[in-house]
Structure formats: structure tokens, C-alpha cells
Amino acid sequence: MGVLDWYGAHGRNARLTCRHFGITRDTFYRWKRRYDPKVLTSLESHSHRPRRLRQPTWTAELVAQVLQFRLENPRWGKEKLTPLLRDQGCAVSVSMVGRILAHLRASGQLREAPSPGVRVVRRPLKRPYAIRKPKDYQVVRPGDLVQVDTMDLRPVPGVILKQFTARDVVSRWDVLSVGHGATAAAATRFLEGLTARSPYPIRAIQVDGGSEFMAGFEEACRLRAIRLFVLPPRSPKLNGHVERANRTHAEEFWECYDGALDMVSAGAALLAWEHRYNTVRPHQALGYLTPLQFLKNSNPA
């Protein structure tokens, strides 16, 4: 009100008034239009909420389907849930799924899964020697290069588990195994499962210089005519695909796993997750195809 009084007392000069009070001309004229000397509240800020709000276009059935998928996959966002919904015949966009998730959170129907405190510790890389992958080695087909790594898991105090992870860099097909130790014998057993559960012949494997990938593991690769590439020291980024895989499985499986930690139970649950990862979970790097769909599209016959 003081602004408009000053304006009237100084020749009704809007430019001078704006300079004096340090306000813009748009602000001044907005106040001037709203000002009613008989109603002092006329200059108070008003709500900018639209009179007519956009009404949701989704159905209750769609909301229930989104909620079910999210409860089954608590770490998956709207981008990964959308292809699953479309596979069920739902005509939805990524933004609509995001709005439904926001509605479910606001209404209390969806609560983010709390972390049970699983701490993932990556073993320090100890590489007494290293041989780089040849610069002229071409990776174009599934199986041309499979990166293998181990990951430490500490789900509860006093319990240490070791996970072997293998990722094909072309198709993102993953093979997983969990045990109590990362030894050369365990790595050799994992190699047997890797070759059996990979839907393509494995031509080369890349590992760091850990002792579990020496001795019997190297001999097993040689007997199978699988080339073995060892990373140079302090270069985990060269195994970036499997490093990212470890993070994915830690966040989407282990942080959500509340089952028994004996090797039979945990191993069976991890194997079920491996199948779900390869055949159900959309992968962003594959254009939101699953690794299985990618392989089928690569080999339509």
C-alpha cells in the first residue's frame, strides 16, 4: 500500500516509483490493478492453483498392475516398469507410469523398500602381473568377450559371502553364483556353470589379476579353448561392464533379499534372480529389451 501511496504523492510517475522501491514495472502494474483502497487485503498473494485441474486418465486396474510390478521389483523405476506393462497390453507412457508411482506414494499405498543394511565391499585388486587384451581383438558377437569378477557381500555381522559375476559385453547376459569363498576351485566351478548357462559359445574371458583366476581356472580356460585376458594393475574401469553388473545385483537383489543365508537357499534365490534379470528385466543399454530379447533379435532364426 505504501508503494501506491508514494506513487500518488509523486505525480503518479510509475518509472520513478519503480526505481525508488527497486521493483519491476510488471510488479508495480500488477499491484496497481489489484489495489482496492477499501479492501486492504487486495494486495495479498493469491493462490496460483488452476481452477480446473487435470484429472487422471488411468484406471484402477492399471494402478493395481503398476503397484504389483513395483512391489515385485522395488528397485525398478518408471523406465523399466513401462515395457513390462506394455507386454501386458497396457497402453502407457513412461510419464504416466511416473505419475502413477507418485500417486501411490502420496496415497501411502507404496513405500520405498528400506535397505536392510547389506554392505557391499569390493575386494582390493591385487594383480602381481597383467596382460592386456590385444588391441586388435574385435568384440562384435555375444560371447566374444565375457567379463568376470567377484564381489564381497556382508549381509549380517560375521557373515561374508562371495559372488561370482559374469557379463557378456554385447548382450548383457549375466551368469551369477554365490559361495563362501573366492578360490581357484570355486572359480573353476563357476566357469562350468558359465559355459553351461550361456546361450552362445564363449570365446574369451576377461578378469583382473586375482589369485582365484589363476592356477586351475586358467587351466580350465585353456582346456576349453577360451582365451583369457588379464587386466593391468589398478584398472577396474576396463572391466566396467561387470563392475556395473555387481552394483545392479547388489541394489536390486541383495538389498531386497530377506531369505535364509545358507548356500542352498541363497544360491537358489540368486539363480531365480539371474533368470529374471536375463528374461524379464528391461535393460536400458539394450533399448529396454531384455538380454534374451536382444539375443533373439540378433539371431531371428
At 127 the pLDDT is: 38
One-letter amino acid of 150: T
At 130 the pLDDT is: 37
Phi, psi at residue 216, to the nearest 5°?
-60, -35
Please, are residues 169 and 264 in contact by the beta-carbon 8 Å criterion?
no
Please, are residues 82 and 97 in contact by the beta-carbon 8 Å criterion?
yes
C-alpha–C-alpha distance, residues 190 and 148, integer Å: 10
Give the containing element (helix H, strand E) for 189: helix 184-197
C-alpha–C-alpha distance, residues 191 and 225, integer Å: 13
C-alpha–C-alpha distance, residues 151 and 253, integer Å: 13
C-alpha–C-alpha distance, residues 175 and 142, integer Å: 14
C-alpha–C-alpha distance, residues 277 and 260, integer Å: 21
Mapped onto helix, strand or coil, the DSSP state of residue 153 is strand
User: How open is the CA angle 237-238-239, to the nearest 5 degrees?
Assistant: 85
Residue in 246, 150, 147 with CA at minimum distance from that of residue 206: 147
Q: Which residues of the chain have pLDDT under 70?
A: 1, 35-46, 113-131, 300-301
At 79 the pLDDT is: 95
> What are the CB-based long-range contacts (under 8 Å, 24+) for 289-293?
291/168, 291/171, 291/172, 291/173, 291/174, 292/173
C-alpha–C-alpha distance, residues 109 and 103, integer Å: 9
In the numeric block, the cell 540378433 is attached to 298
C-alpha–C-alpha distance, residues 210 and 168, integer Å: 20
C-alpha–C-alpha distance, residues 10 and 27, integer Å: 18
Cell numbers of 131, please?
596382460
Length of the chain in residues, anyone?
301
Please, are residues 3 and 23 in contact by the beta-carbon 8 Å criterion?
yes
C-alpha–C-alpha distance, residues 292 and 97, integer Å: 24
120 DSSP β-pair partners: 153
At 8 the pLDDT is: 73
Residue 21 neighbours by CB distance under 10 Å: 13
At 1 the pLDDT is: 56
Mapped onto helix, strand or coil, the DSSP state of residue 200 is coil
Taking phi first (over 0 means left), then psi (-120 to 50 degrees means alpha), and beta for anything else, what does residue 65 get? alpha
At 256 the pLDDT is: 92
